[in-house]
Structure 1
Amino acid sequence: MIVIEYIWIAVQGLIGYNLVFPVILLLIYGLRNTFGISDKKAGLEKLPDYGIIVTAYEQTHQLPAVVSSLLELNYSDYHIYVVADKCDITNLHFNSDKVSLLRPEKVLGSNTRSHFYAIRNFIRPHSHLTIIDSDNLTDPEYLNELNVYFNRGFQAVQGVREAKNLDSTYACLDAARDIYYHFYDGKILFGAGSSATLAGSGMAFTTALYEECLGHLDVTGAGFDKVLQDGIVSRKYRIAFAENAVVYDEKTSGTDQLVNQRARWINTWFKYFALGFKILFKGVTGLNWNQILFGLVLLRPPLFIFLLLSGLFLVINLILAPWVALLWFIAMTVFVAGFYISLVRSKTDPRIYNSLVNIPKFIAFQVLALLKARKANQISVATRHGQEVKQK
């Protein structure tokens, strides 16, 4: 019985710390700012020459808007590579010498394969590359804002993916989730001395680092960003967070789209979360603060999972140990306060606040996604946007 009690306490502790961990990061961030602890600074010899890689799979209808947005960048040294994997490009034309349209002869079916296909077809040896999704739009200052951090000596930078659409309750809730993660897993985690987590697009690297981390691997399915961030942080590099390097990302608008997307994301977490143990162990044994914090973040379950488990443990302890239930209530209150802080301290549209009453429904669909997670990569290679979906 004693062993079971210890296991019960340990499980609760492992779940419960996730509720307060973001606020702990916020305190560390504040202390570093108070004591003026800054990051290293080292100027670049010259401005980066970017290879901008846009990957598309089966769908091309949004590519003209993406490329048009990129051609409006307030920057000169870049070239755009559109990799149209398994796409009909008959009517796809770009009237600019800054764009290369690439159509692989064989289906690649992988983000990283598309990235390296573009790299092998670079028209010149670009010093840096940035990855853009086929539904993204970019702010004109995107590359200049990335350069702020490359100029400070960083070799990997994650920008911000702001909502391009808030046309449904689910899109607003999806945007709220992104704001939370950008704030804590981006701005605050980086500001606390660790690395921002990668978001799959709106991110940039020196070409040499990207090839070093992924050039020897063949990553298929969702989650290449998880493998990439492991490769970067394991090599003791930090991933900077550029809060003003903005790409506009299309949010999930319908329930089918939401469930399928989240099923792939959940599948990815179960597939790669153990990388957190490796990074945490390296951090502890090597006394590397970046790796310690980053490893802890990677071990955190998806948001809805630890929230549901926290609610379950609270209810159980109302029966078994009311004083422990009080601790759970306090921890959940701390989490809610931390979530609210992330919205208040970010540029949050009023529609997002109005959508928060639907969080229980949003969580319910993610539970459904959890049930489909095992076969998630068989559902679809990429999220389908701009199509008819079930709305609110």
Structure 2
Amino acid sequence: MGFYNMEVLYFVFVVFQVLVGVHLILPLILYLLHFKKQELPALAGDQKEYDYAIIVTAYQQTNLLPSVVDSILKLNYKNYLVYVVADNCDITGLNFNSDSVILLRPEETLASNTKSHFYAVKNFKRAHEYLTIIDSDNLVDPEYLNELNNFFARGFIAVQGVRKAKNLNTDYACLDEAGDMYYRFIDRKLLFDVGSSASLAGSGMAFTTAFYRECLESLNIEGAGFDKVLQMGILDRAERIAFAEKAIVYDEKTSKPDQLVNQRARWINTWFKYAGRGVKLLVIGLMNFNWNQFLCGLVFSRPPLFIIVGLTGLSVLADLFLMPGMLLFWGFAILSFFLIFFIALNYFKAPKVVYHALRKIPMFIFLQILSLFKAKRANKISTATVHYHEHKIDEV
């Protein structure tokens, strides 16, 4: 009986290791598959300059709003209005001097991304065909809307752009950008290239207004994670999210340890909150033979990278004594991860400062472990991310 129990435990441990290791190997599989890139739908015959609502949300801080609005007003595009929702903000010093900018200050504190978005929707000056979400710490590339149009003209109802680093002023910011490049490559470029959906990133994303309202207007979403709910709503409807890698917004990366801990605590909290829905989507994708839902469900349920790294390290240590044969599996999985990681940095042309910052990865992981212990109360301690960096984009 004891021998039988040991066999069961060994089997369970092998299954556990495979479930962890597959997240290190899957990116390599996607990379190999992406060489047979899926063809995009044909452009619609009636291409035009679509009408956009650009929604910029701010909570408590307004110091970066002039910069982001100025970058929007420099778009090589005319058919849009900007809706700035300044939630719980002092707006006495804000004046944008443009008829294209509508400044909104809710009477009651909303403290919610989606509530701010729909506050803007309810105050639309006209019926915009599309809306795009921009954070107050972003800057927008002049061709942003033109690049989005390339995908909306092909019939997509949701598009995710690139959130490129605005600041690389500290090692933490560089490591934040390195991680973003890795996920951008796997969860957006590779997934979209193989016929699935790009993952949403919270800003730099755009939708048909009708579809956005259909997905979220009736829901009350508290805390972080509205992009996860939205992504699930899109995938539940068997729709695809396009990845527009030339539609660029410049995003502020975390530059200080306390900022990193609070932000990651919120992200970890979001993963625990929605991972089960990813597993459900994975099962639905299997049952429906739906490649898009299956792959996105697998990615959606994936633990944060530092947790995978930690579980990998513990498994390797255990296998040194218990299952030496599994070390071959882990050797392949770890090599796969590093290969795709550096391919991603190379693809997105990571500057030298990013490579130099990689030596600080152990400290970066340690701070994320600290975040794990704050995750349960993350929405209370990090409702708003404090921004430290000036509006200038770093020269790298």
Distance 1:95 1:178, change over 3 A: same
Q: Is the 2:84–2:102 contact (alpha carbons within 8 Å) kept by the matching residues of 1? A: yes
Higher alpha-carbon deviation: 45-54 or 254-263: 45-54
State the distance in 2 between where 1:380 and 1:149 align: 34
User: For 1:351, which of 330, 344, 353 is the aligned residue?
Assistant: 353
Letter in 2 for 1:382: A
State the distance in 2 between where 1:129 and 1:341 align: 33
The alpha-carbon deviation at position 260 of structure 1 amounts to: 0.4
Report the identity percentage.
Answer: 58
Q: Say what the alpha-carbon RMSD is for the aligned residues.
A: 1.2
Q: Is the 1:195–1:239 contact (alpha carbons within 8 Å) kept by the matching residues of 2? A: yes
State the distance in 2 between where 1:256 and 1:310 align: 26
Counterpart residue number, 2:242: 240
Letter in 2 for 1:151: A
State the distance in 2 between where 1:387 and 1:282 align: 43
State the distance in 2 between where 1:280 and 1:333 align: 26
Counterpart residue number, 2:226: 224
State the distance in 1 between where 2:91 and 2:18 align: 53
Counterpart residue number, 2:22: 17
User: For 1:273, which of 265, 271, 275 is the aligned residue?
Assistant: 275
Q: Deviations over 1:264-283 (max 9, x none)?
A: 00000000111112221221
- How many residues in Structure 1 have an aligned counterpart in Structure 2? 384
Q: Is the 1:163–1:248 contact (alpha carbons within 8 Å) kept by the matching residues of 2? A: yes
Letter in 1 for 2:10: E
Counterpart residue number, 2:394: none
State whether structure 2 residue 211 is matched by structure 1 residue 209: yes
SS at match of 1:157: strand
Which consecutive residues of structure 1, in runs of 5 or more, have no partner in the other structure? Answer: none
State the distance in 1 between where 2:213 and 2:284 align: 22
Q: Runs of 4 or more off by more than 6 Å in structure 1? A: none
The alpha-carbon deviation at position 42 of structure 1 amounts to: 4.4
Q: Deviations over 1:28-67 (max 9, x none)?
A: 111x23xxx4132241634320000000000000000010
Letter in 2 for 1:345: Y
Equivalences for 1:156-305 in 2 at 5 Å? 156-305=158-307
Counterpart residue number, 1:149: 151
Q: Is the 1:44–1:153 contact (alpha carbons within 8 Å) kept by the matching residues of 2? A: no
State the distance in 2 between where 1:226 and 1:137 align: 23
Q: Is the 2:252–2:389 contact (alpha carbons within 8 Å) kept by the matching residues of 1? A: no
TM-score, length basis structure 2: 0.95
Which consecutive residues of structure 2, in runs of 5 or more, have no partner in the other structure? Answer: 391-396
Q: Is the 1:315–1:325 contact (alpha carbons within 8 Å) kept by the matching residues of 2? A: no
The alpha-carbon deviation at position 8 of structure 1 amounts to: 1.0
Distance 1:149 1:259, change over 3 A: same
State the distance in 2 between where 1:199 and 1:85 align: 21
State the distance in 2 between where 1:358 and 1:387 align: 21
The alpha-carbon deviation at position 287 of structure 1 amounts to: 1.6
User: For 1:68, which of 60, 70, 75 is the aligned residue?
Assistant: 70
Q: Is the 2:165–2:250 contact (alpha carbons within 8 Å) kept by the matching residues of 1? A: yes
Q: Deviations over 1:57-84 (max 9, x none)?
A: 0000000001000000000100000000
The alpha-carbon deviation at position 330 of structure 1 amounts to: 2.2
Q: Deviations over 1:68-118 (max 9, x none)?
A: 000000001000000000000011111000000000001111000000000
Counterpart residue number, 1:41: 42
Letter in 2 for 1:40: P
User: For 2:318, which of 311, 316, 319 is the aligned residue?
Assistant: 316
